[in-house]
Amino acid sequence: MSGDFKWLAEELARISRSQAQSGAARTNPNPAGTIHEGSTTDAVLAVLKANAPRFMTFAAIKEATGRNGKAVGWAVWYLRSLGKVEARGAGDRRSPLYQLYQVKEGGANE
């Protein structure tokens, strides 16, 4: 059994040395604020852009994208946090489902 641990330790040391020698810097392929093509966030933004300057309900966005409610809810929240979407009735204590959403003028540019 100790032979297995010795082999594992040698492999980890070898990998560590090879990474140090290659000098490859690790980068995040998905930096913060990235919207991936084909994602629900991309679909929500496209629907809001196509219907600008009109405000849309959550249900209308959900129906237009054909995505599930949780994904659309997260996408709207994410787009609002990026400053690409504004909500009318944001101070309302009711559910976000009752708010109206619109793409911001500066948020339409990517």
**pLDDT recorded at residue 8:** 86
Q: How many CB atoms lie within 10 A of CB 67?
A: 19
* Helix 40-50 / helix 58-65 crossing angle, nearest 10 deg: 110
pLDDT digits (tens, 9 = 90+) for 35-91: 889 999 999 999 999 998 899 999 999 999 999 999 999 999 999 999 999 988 766
Name the token pair of 1: 């059994």
CATH of 40-108 among 3.40.1390.30, 3.40.50.300, 3.40.640.10, 1.10.10.10: 1.10.10.10
Nearest-angstrom CA–CA distance, 2 and 8: 10
- What's the DSSP call for residue 62? H
Calculate Rg over the CA atoms of the chain. 22
User: Residue 4's pLDDT band (boundaries 50, 70, 90)?
Assistant: confident
For residues 44 and 79, the answer to whether their CB atoms sit within 8 Å is: yes
Nearest-angstrom CA–CA distance, 29 and 31: 6
